[in-house]
Chain A
Amino acid sequence: MRHILSVLLENEPGALSRVVGLFSARGYNIDSLVVAPTEDPTLSRMTIVTHGSDDVIEQITKQLNKLIEVVKIVDITEGHHIERELMLVKVRAGSKEREEMKRMADIFRGRILDVTDRSYTIELTGDCAKLDAFLQAIDKEVILETVRTGACGVGRGERILRA
């Protein structure tokens, strides 16, 4: 099962490597990881997308909690949540593909950020599945470059993660 763990941790040097080191040392999977400071500059918030059985996810959560710099962890996939990832895709957009690429970008509510004679750079946000779907939907041959941020997310409504 895929899980999204939101982790609040002290914004200190070395904290990130403790988390990453834990995953590699214990053989856990990281599908994606994003981290940035929060509105409180002493805290960072990390979003880890991982997969594993319930037992493994339970261990990951417990092991993360043991790290001295980790303040709080929530598995936001345990309840209703919103998930977003940003992707930039540079595609070939010569005269042949131009119309089609614009149309596809519109269908997926993408925005074209950069235009040249031969290429578009398209910005897309959505959950990971939507971004995957876009890449599936367009011709593989036209993709020149993709870059994805990895997912971040929050719980819906009253579900709030604070220190």
Chain B
Amino acid sequence: MSQFTGAEIVLKCLADEGVEYVFGYPGGAVLNIYDEFFKQDKVKHVLVRHEQAAIHAADAYSRSSTKVGVGLVTSGPGVTNAVTGIATAYMDSIPMVVITGQVPTHAIGQDAFQECDTVGITRPCVKHNFLVKDVKDLQAVMKKAFYIANTGRPGPVLVDIPKDVTANKCEYKNYAEVNVEMRSYQPTIRGHAGQIKKAVQMLLNAKRPLIYSGGGVVLGNASTQLTKLVHKLGFPCTNTLMGLGGLSGTDKHFLGMLGMHGTYEANHAMQECDVLLAVGARFDDRVIGNPSHFFREGRKIIHIDIDPSSISKRVKVDVPVVGYVADVLDEISKLLDACSEKPDAEHLRKWWSTIDGWRAKNSLSYKKSDELIKPQYVVETLYELTGGDAYVTSDVGQHQMWAAQYYKFKHPRQWINSGGLGTMGVGLPYAMGVQLMHPESTVACITGEASIQMCIQELSTCKQYHIPVKIVNLNNRYLGMVRQWQEFFYGNRYAESYMDALPDFVKLAEAYGHRGLQITKPHDVRNALAEAIKEKDKLYFLDFITDQSENVFPMVPGGKGLTEIIMAEEL
């Protein structure tokens, strides 16, 4: 059989996995691999300007599709720069394979140039990682990496390859015949039939039911099943930040997002329901607030999740179901179809009228202005002009919450943000990954003047690869969310949250070869957005100078209970 170098094997594996794009940055330890990139044209490479952005872009490529994102970086600083990206993907369970170069095997442990303990550094923020010391293991490890990344609860997997391994040669087997089975990893889990039956009975007996769905529904491609179940039962449904689009934002059963900046109705329903069906969600601190306040005697909780460790981690549940959410939701629907019982219509009607009472609070209303641009208005206008069909990425902070609250996501995977780790700087590289996945779609990056500067060098990547994303910069000259907390909880002492000496973003965009517009008046918002959307082939940097004092409402302060909400009109 013919022999291939490790570098050739890496490229062959990527091609056999059907990888279209690799996001990366070359360096000494990966030069053999890059040389193979040069010699082939099956797998395309996107050269970013900073390794962190490579991983974010690969992450978003995956978030906006069902494919595994792939990043490639060199040893040492390449890896340490990538760590933020890896940890971001890990917190949100994004399937990704990160290939890292390593110093040659004989130099490992010698404090060689650009050496770091990659598997050690990344161990706590990957689903799994491998150090490949023998080229004979490389093909199987590569295939296992993709397999582990994309099965069970997904997550990033890192493959660390010393430089000599990329030069050594061995055979390349038929990819389909490479065995990835591991006795210690059995990701195929079927929901327990008895538990599912119990869950169905509980749902049928509910007087005040609520479905609470999270990122698991998006990642598990269970949006169709969720929507079907919601409609079949006629139950209200709320989504977490990561679950937005799991049920369409325009669905009348949708109560909006819940949690720290969730709607009044979603948070109250969460607190007052008597049967809660949690689907692919994990009751995290930003979602349920204080767990002891969240606890209600008599409320029953059903929890469907692929990861057993997510169940009863923060909140004790009554009916745990471990399995792929799409399968379990299908089973539930089947049982409901086969059963003559229906949920009690009278109780449900009463429950909906209670919810309508909460809805009437109109918790997302805000004061309109003719003088100052309200950030909420920018997002609403973007929603309108794109017909709700754009892919929207965000960074982290106030603008992220406004995007989540005011853009009504119709579909899963349309809303791309860093929910778990809360990484500022993801917005632009996320938009790049998404746009490459969906070249025909409008991709907007809703960001702030602070976040955008954390990965702004990627404007250069966008130029090189003609990535025409629309940057919607909600520029309030503050680290807005920090300022908001300082206003509420630190007596208006705005320590280091003012952004002085900002660049001229229009000139900056132009310097990178893009279009830039600064918008200072509300009546110019619509035209600016419309122009950016219409110019399909151009990257637009829209610098909206917004109302500096605007805050995100409603708000449940950290550590408080879900119904201890601060509303806009209360301040």
Contact = CB atoms under 8 A, between A and B. Distances in A.
Interface of A: 9-10, 13-14, 17-18, 21, 25, 55, 58-59, 62-63, 65-66, 68-71, 163
B124 interface: yes
Interface residues of B, number: 20
B307 A71 contact: no
Given A14-B119, A21-B124, 16 more contacts: A10-B184, A17-B120, A55-B312, A55-B316, A59-B309, A62-B308, A62-B311, A65-B308, A65-B309, A66-B307, A66-B309, A68-B128, A68-B184, A71-B183, A71-B184, A163-B183
B189 to A, nearest CB: 12
B131 interface: yes
B132 to A, nearest CB: 12
Contact of B184 (A9, A59, A62): A9
Contacts of B307: 66
Interface of B: 119-120, 123-124, 127-128, 131, 148, 153, 182-185, 307-309, 311-313, 316
Given A14-B131, A55-B312, A69 B184 contact: yes
B309 A63 contact: yes
A87 B313 CA distance: 37
A68 B185 contact: yes
Contacts of A63: 309
A58 B312 contact: yes
Residue with the greatest number of chain B CB neighbours at <10 A, chosen from A21, A62, A69: A62
9 contacts: A9-B184, A17-B120, A21-B124, A55-B312, A55-B316, A59-B309, A62-B311, A68-B127, A71-B183
A53 to B, nearest CB: 12
Contacts of A68: 127-128, 148, 182, 184-185
In the A-B complex, list the 6 residue pairs whose CB atoms are closest, starting with the nearest. A62-B309, A71-B184, A68-B128, A62-B308, A68-B185, A25-B124
A15 to B, nearest CB: 9
B184 to A, nearest CB: 4
Contacts of A59: 309, 313
Contacts of A58: 312
Residue with the greatest number of chain B CB neighbours at <10 A, chosen from A17, A66, A69: A66
A68 B128 CA distance: 7
Nearest to B128: A68
A19 to B, nearest CB: 11
B95 to A, nearest CB: 14
A109 B123 CA distance: 44
A25 B131 CA distance: 22
Contacts of A55: 312, 316
B315 to A, nearest CB: 11
A21 B121 CA distance: 11
A25 to B, nearest CB: 5
Nearest to B153: A66
Nearest to A58: B312
Contacts of B184: 9-10, 68-71
A13 B160 CA distance: 14
A94 to B, nearest CB: 47
A18 B148 CA distance: 16
Nearest to B130: A14
Residue with the greatest number of chain B CB neighbours at <10 A, chosen from A25, A58, A68, A163: A68
A58 B285 CA distance: 20
A159 B427 CA distance: 53
A28 to B, nearest CB: 12
B309 A21 contact: no
Nearest to A69: B184
Given A10-B184, A68-B128, A68-B185, A21 B123 contact: yes
Contacts of A70: 184
Contacts of B131: 13-14
Nearest to A68: B128
A9 B307 CA distance: 20
Contacts of B312: 55, 58
A158 to B, nearest CB: 22
B123 A17 contact: yes
A140 to B, nearest CB: 40
Contact of A18 (B123, B311, B316): B123
A52 B281 CA distance: 25
Contacts of B153: 66
A70 B185 CA distance: 8
A68 B184 CA distance: 6
A65 B308 CA distance: 9
A121 B183 CA distance: 44
A45 B140 CA distance: 25
Contacts of A21: 123-124
Contacts of B183: 71, 163
A70 B183 CA distance: 9
A14 B313 CA distance: 26
Residue with the greatest number of chain A CB neighbours at <10 A, chosen from B120, B182, B184, B185: B184
Nearest to A55: B312
A156 B543 CA distance: 71
Contacts of B311: 62
Residue with the greatest number of chain A CB neighbours at <10 A, chosen from B120, B127, B128, B316: B128
Nearest to B124: A25
Contacts of B308: 62, 65
A66 B311 CA distance: 13
Contacts of A18: 123
Contacts of B127: 68
A70 B308 CA distance: 15
A14 B128 CA distance: 11
Contacts of A66: 153, 307, 309
Nearest to A70: B184
Nearest to A63: B309
Contacts of A69: 184
Contacts of B148: 68
Contacts of B185: 68
Contacts of A13: 131
Nearest to B313: A59
A62 B282 CA distance: 15
Residue with the greatest number of chain A CB neighbours at <10 A, chosen from B182, B183, B307: B183
A13 B134 CA distance: 14
A30 to B, nearest CB: 16
A25 B123 CA distance: 11
A54 B153 CA distance: 24
A7 to B, nearest CB: 11
Contacts of B123: 14, 17-18, 21
A65 B316 CA distance: 20
